[in-house]
Chain A
Amino acid sequence: MATIEAVTPRVYAGTPRRGPITRLLEDERWLASFLLMPTIVLLGLFIAYPFVKGVLLAVTDTRVGIPGSFVGLANFEKLWHDDIFRVAVYNTFLYTFVTTVFKLVLGLWLALLLNRHFRGKAFVRAFILLPFIIPTVLSTFAWKWMFDPTFSVINWMLFHLGMITGRINWLGDPDLAIISVMVVNVWRGVPFYAISLLAGLQTISPELHEAAAIDGARAWNRFRYVTWPLLLPVTMVVVLFSVIQTFADFQLVYVLTGGGPANHTHLFATYAYQIGVGTGLLSEGAAVSLAIFPVLLLVVIIQLVYIRRVETV
């Protein structure tokens, strides 16, 4: 023991003395936790806490101003028999599916066009992003005016083209209303697809297309056998993000229809808001919100597994 004590100071003799915190941070385990702290705090505060709070709310009968008590799954059972909730579920799936297909097809098409060389390319690229960078609520209000039965510029055009004689009440008819909402969602979502897919396209070496062209592949086959498979990982990530966002969409419907006419255009989020905040039934609103969770979880798992598979092949 005596020898060890004698040797140790000598080893450190050349290095300046360090404080206890410095020494602690030189241990990787401590340093790692230290560096993770801000992220953990943020995630905990803004994601984990509200989520847990939501789960706790959903199993009580809390209302605004009334603490409430534990009721088990009663809120979910009630939802099960709730016709508006069923419409909202149907709408959400339809809305997500239809808009995702359109956004993907249009976005990919735009991306392919933008990936070519032409004059004013930079300008067009910036221009394409406009729907994406204008605050959604603002642009949605503009759309609301365009759909307004009296002031609708769409009606005006159709009328002057001689295609309609009367006024179309875009947001007043249940079917037209959901279609209108979807149109706006596609309009808003396409830029994200186009720009992300364009970035993906630009990582594909032009030489591959040239090689394929020499190999005898015409445009469609070049897309099918070269572009599409190489773009697939990017596409999956883009679709993943977009599906999650669309599934939980709120602003568009809230501004355009508010869930109407007669609760025909509700999505999960708008319905949860209407019940939870509008009506004050906090616990039931939380239950509606939570009902999305399993679906989103599934989507995320499927796509992450898929992405991992693509990456490791």
Chain B
Amino acid sequence: MTRSQGSRVPQGSQTSQSSQEVQDSQNSQDSQNSQGSRDRILARIRAAVAGAPEVPVTRSYRHRVPPPAGGTPGEAVELFAERVADYRAVVHVVESARAAEVISGALARRGARRVVVPGGLPEEWARAVGAHPGGEAVPDDPPLSAAELDALDGVVTGCAAGIAETGTIVLDAGPGQGRRALTLVPDYHLCLVRAGQIVPGVPEAIAALDPLRPLTWISGPSATSDIELDRVEGVHGPRTLEVVILR
């Protein structure tokens, strides 16, 4: 079976001046139409639901996911570590004091030399990024181009929250995390999560996060199952995710 053809055009085809003018008048016409369509859609909705009963929402699901049996924060950390590892990410749980040592060890093992560090990363972590032989911490200041990011070996960040039940890390582009491209283009992401940032479940994370910031929820490395449902880690995002949980 063949899909209708014609989705391919010669590369670099130019819009001529006269057709550009036609487009411009078309665009302003469209914004008027859009206004008309807005009113029409709203009127259709009102007619469609007129007289329909109100629907109350009952939230009898777990608003606060209880910590796993025993309920100590340590167990949330354990669950988080286990669930992140389920996604085939590399996970370390270490004392906070060992952060720098773990960072430089991980980068040396990986052979990651030039590694981008977002603004606001704690001094001690940033210094550790360039500490192994040949290592260099590359600041995103002035902002690196996508091509420059593509030439780097990795990125080291903190995060905004961790979710134990789903093994998810959330970045909100805040200090120590950088803009979204930083954790996307380089092929290796080393992420540090403080135990105090880990919440038990999704509802707690939603409550803690600011929707006005651009958020990236990360659950394991980039993956696809598009070919015969065989899971392959790593397509376009970082193919290796390494997570350091600081107790």
Report whether chain A binds chain B. no
Residues of B with Cβ closer than 8 Å to A? none
